[in-house]
Amino acid sequence: MVLRVYNTLTRQMEDFTPLHDGKVNMYVCGPTVYDHCHLGHARSYISFDVIRRYLAYRGYDVRYVSNITDVDDKIIDRAKETGENPFELSSRFTLSFIEDMDKLNVQRPDVQPRVTEHIPEIIETIKVLIDKKLAYATPEGNVYYDLTRSLDLVGVLSRQTIDGLLEGSGSRVDVEKDKKYQLDFVLWKISPEDEPGWESPWGRGRPGWHIECSVMSVKHGSEQLDIHGGGADLIFPHHEAEIMQSEGYTGINPFSKYWLHNGFLTIDHEKMSKSKGNFFTIKQVLEEFPSEVIRFFMLNTHYRNTIDFSEKHLEEAGRAYERIANTISNIKYAIQNAPENGDDFCLSEEVNQARDSFIVSMDEDFNTREALADLFVFARKVNALISESNPGKIALEEVLTFFSEIDQVLGVFSEGPATCEEIPGGASDEDVESMIQQREDARKARDWDLADAIRDELKEKGIIIEDSKDGVRWRRA
């Protein structure tokens, strides 16, 4: 089986063959830290986390670099509003971002470089671009990339034409007046006295947004990447600018062999973003929903498709999540009383088939949606086998091992159903045990109404109880 990925560069599905056997150099654009991150950011980083984990699952040695933009106009503007020092503000939100990612079980990058720690390297790179006549400094102290030197690269990712760009220029294109050409983009910009700045050959200033990724990917990743990732909004101008800068600097083409872009998380079909104000922070959502459910919700859509966010959709994801988590719980329960070898029938074969389906789905551009759909089918079969036959410990343990194996990629089941209490309307194992005890007490006291009421309440929470000669058994529906 061959892993295939959708490459924005070619607009095609392609077989994935890294530049160096067995190794993958991956760079993903990190956040601009001027506030707590929202769920749209979570979408991007969960997508690339799963891509990274799957590549590792497939045996690749993955190096994952993702930056932190900790100096930027938005940070400076926000610091002016709050009266805070911009560096303190950005450190605060960097920590907030790392904390959110940890909670969402997003593995930390191998390197997470910050712009403010790379100013000398950025200045050196800009000097090389000027020496190569790919960039120019203006008397005002700004440095621009000379787009007329890279016209062949215009539209390489975005498929836009120069005419189209000139007509539509405005959004995310700099409008400074000292440029030679309207579409030139800034590499270094002069800082006013009261704003952060660093001394440079062109005066006191700070880097433009695009240059940091070219510099940090070379320094911490490689001069040529296997995968470059980010949200679809970064395709233009950010990623095209990165291509021009990086290829101009290293002389190596292509800068990245594969370009992967995640689709948007929307609210009412509009992209969730800070500037529109239509966002929920990751922290807000984590107050209401367990992180496993948020991850599961994201993975239930292919990473390139749009997800429309609503509380209702998250609740639905919670219920779907619980179905698989309950299967894991059922297996754990069944193992306790299972014989070493039982009527295993085809459980082992089912596991092998489930593994094959998982790989087939994930090999098709990391199709987590299909992978989860297959997992539901598998979970249903396992539930049926447990309730209808008498599988042995060895076979059941094989199923559990399979769930942990694929969870190295999905990262949603490691805590198992212990988190069910956090799902609205859910019940933890301890809650269930305690309610069953109350029902037993009611039965002993011949309070049949109360016993029935407790049974009904458990049923509403998706808990089925069975009275057997060995006592009460329960499972999740």
Binding site for ligand AMP (CB under 6 A): 29, 31-32, 40-41, 43-44, 230-231, 233-234, 262, 264-265, 271-273
Binding region for Zn ion (CB under 5 A) out of 22-30, 128-136, 412-420, 446-454: 22-30
Q: Which residues contact 288 (CB under 8 A, 6 or more apart)?
A: 311, 314, 424
| Residue 411 contacts which entry, ligand AMP, Zn ion, none (Cβ below 5-8 A, type-dependent) | none
Q: Which is nearer to ligand AMP, 206 or 455 (CB)?
A: 206
Contact partner at residue 237 from Zn ion, ligand AMP, none, CB < 5 to 8 Å by partner kind: none
Whether residue 390 contacts residue 338, with contact meaning beta carbons closer than 8 Å, is answered with yes
Q: Rg of the chain's alpha carbons, rounded to an integer?
A: 27
Q: How far is the CB of 184 from ligand AMP (least distance, A)?
A: 21
With CA atoms as reference, report the closest residue to 181 among 149, 156, 139, 208: 149
Q: Where does residue 128 fall: left (phi above 0), alpha (psi -120 to 50 degrees), or beta otherwise? A: alpha
The listed partner (Zn ion, ligand AMP, none) that binds 213, CB under 5 to 8 Å by sort, is Zn ion
CB neighbour list of residue 190: distance below 8 Å, 6 or more residues apart: 140, 141, 142, 197, 202, 203, 204, 205
Q: Which is nearer to ligand AMP, 138 or 158 (CB)?
A: 158
Residue closer to ligand AMP by CB (options 41, 476) is 41
Q: Does 285 bind Zn ion (CB under 5 A)?
A: no
Distance CA 247, CA 150 (A): 10
The least CB distance from residue 28 to ligand AMP, in Å, is: 7
Structure token pair of residue 118: 């790379």
CB proximity list for 426: less than 8 A, separation 6 or greater: 318, 322, 420, 461, 462
The two beta strands, 225-231 and 23-28, are parallel
Q: Which of residues 104 and 213 has its CB atom nearest to Zn ion in the complex?
A: 213
The residue (of 36 and 476) whose beta carbon lies closer to ligand AMP is 36
Judged by beta carbon, residue 230 or residue 391, the one nearer ligand AMP is 230
Which amino acid belongs to residue 373? A
Binding residues among 178-217 for Zn ion as defined by CB under 5 A: 213
Kindly tell me which of 42 and 412 has the beta carbon lying closer to ligand AMP: 42
Cα-based angle 238, 190, 37 (whole degrees, multiple of 5): 45
In the complex, what is the shortest distance from the CB of residue 456 to Zn ion, in angstroms, rounded to a whole number?
55
Question: Could you tell me what percentage of the chain is helix, strand and coil, using 3-state DSSP and rounding each to the nearest 5?
Answer: 50, 15, 35
Cβ 37 to ligand AMP shortest distance, Å:
7
Residue type, 162: I
Look at residue 43 and give the partner it binds from Zn ion, ligand AMP, none, a contact being a CB closer than 5 to 8 Å depending on partner kind.
Answer: ligand AMP
Comparing CB distances to Zn ion, the nearer of 213 and 382 is 213
Q: Which is nearer to ligand AMP, 275 or 468 (CB)?
A: 275
Q: Return d(Cα 449, Cα 451) in angstroms, integer.
A: 5
Q: How far is the CB of 29 from ligand AMP (least distance, A)?
A: 5
Task: Kindly indicate which of the ranges 24-32, 133-141, 262-270, 369-377 contains the residues binding Zn ion, using the contact rule CB under 5 A.
Answer: 24-32
Is the link from the previous residue into 109 a cis peptide, with omega within 30 of 0? no
- 359's tokens: 């790989």
Choose from ligand AMP, Zn ion, none: what does 328 bind? Cβ within 5-8 Å by kind.
none
The three-class DSSP label of residue 141 is coil
Contact yes or no for 314/297 (Cβ under 8 A): yes
Question: Least distance to Zn ion from the beta carbon of 29, Å?
Answer: 3
- Least separation in angstroms between CB 198 and ligand AMP: 22
In this structure, are residues 235 and 8 in contact, taking their beta carbons and an 8 Å threshold? yes
Q: Which is nearer to ligand AMP, 281 or 419 (CB)?
A: 281
Q: Locate tokens 């539509």: which residue?
A: 168
Q: CA-to-CA distance for 70 and 249, rounded, in angstroms?
A: 23
- Closest contact distance (angstroms) between CB of 259 and ligand AMP is 12
Q: Which of residues 28-57 bind Zn ion (CB under 5 A)?
A: 29
- Partner whose binding site includes residue 31, from ligand AMP, Zn ion, none (CB under 5 to 8 Å by kind): ligand AMP
Q: Shortest Cβ distance from residue 27 to Zn ion (Å)?
A: 8
CA angle 370, 373, 375 (to 5 degrees): 110
Other C-beta atoms lying within 10 Å of the C-beta of residue 82: 11
Binding stretches for Zn ion (CB under 5 A): 29, 213
